[in-house]
Amino acid sequence: MLDVERWTFSDKSQVLMRVLYSFAVCIFGLSAQITAMFAAESDNPLINESALPYHYPDFDKLKDENFVPAIEAGMREQLNEIDPIANSSEKPTFENTIVAMERTGRLLDRAQRTFSNLNACDTNPTRQKIEKETAPKLSAHRDAIFLNPKLFARVQALYDKRDSLGLDPESAYLLERYYKDFVRAGAKLSDADKEKLKKVNAELATLQTDFEQNVLKERNASSVVVDKKEELAGLTDDQMKSVINAAKAEHKEGKFVIQLQNTTGQPLLGSLQDRHLRERIMQASLSRNSKGGEFDTRNIVLRTAQLRAEKAKLLGYDHWAAYQLEDQTAHDVPTVNKLLGDLATPAVANAKREAAEQQKIVDQEKGEFQIAAHDWDFYSEKVRKAKYAFDESEVRPYYELNHVIVDGVFFAANKEYGLTFKERHDLPVYQPDVRVWEVFDRDGKPLAIFIGDYYARASKRGGAWMNAYVQQSDLFGTRPVVANHLNIPKPPAGEPTLLTHDQVRTAFHEFGHALHGMFSAVKYPRFSGTSVPRDFVEYPSQVNEMWANWPEVLKNYAKHYKTGEPMPQALVQKIESSDKFNQGYKTTEYLTASLLDQAWHQLSANEIPKDAVAFEAEALRKAHVDFAPVPPRYRSFYFSHAFAAGYSAGYYSYLWSEVLDADTVEWIKEHGGLKRENGDRFRAMLLSRGGSADALGLFKNFVGRDPYIEPLLKRRGLDSAPGSGATKGE
């Protein structure tokens, strides 16, 4: 019998597809419906691998109607590929089982990766609908593979005799990871429990999609509208232009609109003199997704926590955090709790000292009020000016976006790794502002494609991130196509894009992720690039931040956008001397969010509260971080890391990674800083390895010992804080 499905959805060329289509019509007299399906699939740019360099996506040919057929075709194709592996009568071998599984699902990976990336950076109602409809289907598809008893039996048989297979280190680790993936997915459960798990997974997939979409919609709907220009006293000319442009974008001409970003803190709070307006902005931010209405996520949070706890119990864990952390470098809940608990006391103590300094200024100005969350940015800037004679607005003219990227980020990568970059204008993009570079290796050979998507827009999720459209793999002979996404407000036409110091640091950070993806040199796609434990993935990117302030790099990019004059040394010294400024606040707001994440995910199935708001408040009180002037970086109800993205029970990862990062930065400084020898070593021993070896082992091999926490404490100004008491450890 003709296997139409295999013919239609295999990863063949456009020409072959059309030949098969014509053959089927002529010989088999397929129905008009099937005929139309063949024609539609043959024109779908996702069905066939792109013929562009590096298999770069055909963005100019992609239409929203291409995504669902490609994703569904990809699921069918992968199941057709998995079936003969699971039902093979041959004795299981590494090649016919593990490598064979690695070879499956290329169409699905391409379609899903392209869709999810575009949906994150340029969504629309159609794409949101697709995401919502496909999420439970993709969850069920994964379950169909990882809960297949015949397939797991073959993996189990190989795992049981793993020491006698004579595998190379990467292959041996792949076998180990596949076994763990199956077990953690529920492969050892009874048939009845597998059915329960499938239902939980499907509902969780829908809940996570609903949460992410509601957060984006609420953020866009929560803009603060200002009627009078006088209320905006304190804003710079550029900031005024941004609120005017925002009003035009929202069709509110004649008014001024302050759009919110994902985090609790909002950028303009440091400039606005009107205390009442600052309070309005902070309240709008804090109340997002928890004040009723169609975008309220409180019930989603509760239901998600419930289902995750139930899933953990099914799989034999006390709670979701125990399940998640077992597969991270931290390994267990007590380790994470100790890290967060040890830092909470000195961080809050520092924050309270910072608040006291601000209160002195309020009292001197006869303000007659106590410092509140909406005052912090405004008065901390006053303290910064008084202490360091430093004003954030002083540095922005020296941080023009193109100079930062080309003469800063790329310059550092050239000095450390020998990379060169050539901008390409011949490859299609999904937004006019998106830029594309080809990256060449130290020997001049092509290495990767890098996509830069830097501007904020309503269709883009908040924050900054890196993703890969194409992953490196020796198995398939593919080279990376990676992208960085930031959310920098776009200035009016003809105006320069001037960044804050934090935005500059973020650009270097995200490119650290890009380097991790571009330098990948693994055989198996399972290990490519940033496919590492969640609490390790931020480590290499945080290391890359060090070059933002490195004298040789800073001198090359920090030039006045009008005059081309380098940043004055006096201003550079102000930046350096104020590096530890406000670290009590920054550490506390991060810790409070991390502690909330753990509080929700260390609940057992019978401990889920009925009132999400009350639970959040009590969790902060119990952790001794309930300091009102410093609210969590994310409240539970717009905490996408914890309830939509892959950081559930893992938001601590940034701090955990920073322990490794700060230690590595000290090592690099001690060994000469920005030089090729250090870059080549970091690349060879860590960046190129992806997830092909134990993550913490890669760190230890690079620095030659276990990590120390002291460099982190020193960086954050916590080394001399009362109650710090931290010692060496992992």
- As a whole number of angstroms, the distance between CA 283 and CA 266 comes to 11
Closest residue by Cα to residue 548 from 486, 506, 518: 506
| Cβ count near 455 (within 10 Å) | 18
CB 482 within 8 A of CB 451: yes
Q: How many residues does the chain have?
A: 730
DSSP of 80-136: HHHHHHHT--SPP-IIIIIIHHHTS-HHHHHHHHHHHHHHHHS--HHHHHHHHHHHH
Structure tokens at 531: 């496919």
The burial class, CB within 10 Å (0-12 / 13-18 / 19+), for 237 is exposed
Q: Most distant CA pair in the chain: distance in Å?
A: 91
- Measure the CA–CA gap between 97 and 111, rounded to whole angstroms: 24
Catalytic option among 438, 510, 545, 658: 510
Handedness of CA 481, 482, 485, 490 (dihedral sign): negative
- Counts for the chain of helices (H) and strands (E), in that order: 30, 7
Give the CA dihedral 429, 435, 440, 445, nearest 10 degrees.
20
Q: Which two tokens stand for residue 705?
A: 């010992």
Task: Check: CB of residue 74 under 8 Å from CB of residue 112.
Answer: yes
Distance CA 81, CA 191 (A): 23
The 3-state secondary structure of 673-716 reads CCCHHHHHHHHHHCHHHCCCCCHHHHHHHHHCCCCCCHHHHHHC
Give the separation between CA 196 and CA 314, rounded to whole angstroms: 9
Q: Which amino acid is at 21?
A: Y
Pairwise CA distance, residues 353 & 29, whole Å: 81
Read off the tokens for 330.
Answer: 């931290």
Q: What angle do CA 706, 711, 714 make, to 5 degrees?
A: 155
Tokens of 8: 């239609």
d(CA 651, CA 387): 33
In the residue annotation, 565 being an active-site residue is answered as no
Q: Where in the sequence numbering do the catalytic residues fall? A: 510
